[in-house]
Chains A and B, each alone.
Chain A
Amino acid sequence: AQKVTQAQTEISVVEKEDVTLDCVYETRDTTYYLFWYKQPPSGELVFLIRRNSFDEQNEISGRYSWNFQKSTSSFNFTITASQVVDSAVYFCALLSRSGYALNFGKGTSLLVTP
């Protein structure tokens, strides 16, 4: 069975604060893929990152960074110096090597206020 848990339902921060969104996953597969998507108020899911299970290297893209730790089955997402435009619902998702459908968490709603 596969499961993604995003324990934080809602987070509210003030602009320029750093914020970390947590993602914990469960899978019996040895090869799998992890994803983060952003869903702004317009509703369209925007792909942010894909990480393969055999690549534990952390990644940084501008103000975004991702920390993948297999030992704790976590794939956390940090936004540095948050901006109002970062306000959205963020979803973590899991896909096994042999699978086809993304298994999404319930999402974390991030509100960044000026």
Chain B
Amino acid sequence: DTGVSQDPRHKITKRGQNVTFRCDPISEHNRLYWYRQTLGQGPEFLTYFQNEAQLEKSRLLSDRFSAERPKGSFSTLEIQRTEQGDSAMYLCASSFYRGLHNEQFFGPGTRLTVL
């Protein structure tokens, strides 16, 4: 069983450009989460999906951010018109949820640098 994978691992972009990240969760997991982590801080929740439905979005997720999980498998996170403040590590996690919470397993993250 492979773990959570994310692509790309690193992304450098210029301010104003759009970027898209991909996350492939553990195959039997029905929940998928996106978090953002800045230097010296713990990860902060952005959004999550149960199967293909996006059930919650954080206030951190401005209207420049959009996430999808079209078939309940992989997910994409797009940032439009990037700003320098978007520079962070974007982490994806997945878990299997059936009424009780199980641990979330994290991918290696995508490190975004906005110049």
Given contacts A33-B101, A43-B89, contact A106 B40 (CB under 8 A): yes
* CA of A32 to CA of B109, assembled, Å: 26
B3 to chain A, nearest CB (A): 9
Contact (Cβ within 8 A) A100 B103: no
* CA of A23 to CA of B24, assembled, Å: 31
Contact (Cβ within 8 A) A93 B101: no
Contact (Cβ within 8 A) A101 B103: no
Q: Contact residue range for chain A?
A: 20 to 34
Residues of B within 8 A of A35 (CB): 103
- Chain B 41-72: CB-based contact to A (< 8 A → 1; otherwise 0): 11111001000000110100000000000000
Contact (Cβ within 8 A) A100 B43: no
A44 within 8 A of B: yes
Partner of A97, one of B91, B101, B102, B103: B101
- Chain A 78-114: CB-based contact to B (< 8 A → 1; otherwise 0): 0000000000000101010100111111110000000
Given contacts A45-B43, A91-B42, A106-B42, contact A101 B108 (CB under 8 A): no
Contact (Cβ within 8 A) B109 A102: no
What is the chain B residue whose CB lies nearest that of A95?
B101
- Chain B 84-110: CB-based contact to A (< 8 A → 1; otherwise 0): 000001010100000001111111110
Chain A: residues with CB nearer than 8 A to chain B? 4, 33, 35, 37, 42-47, 50, 91, 93, 95, 97, 100-107
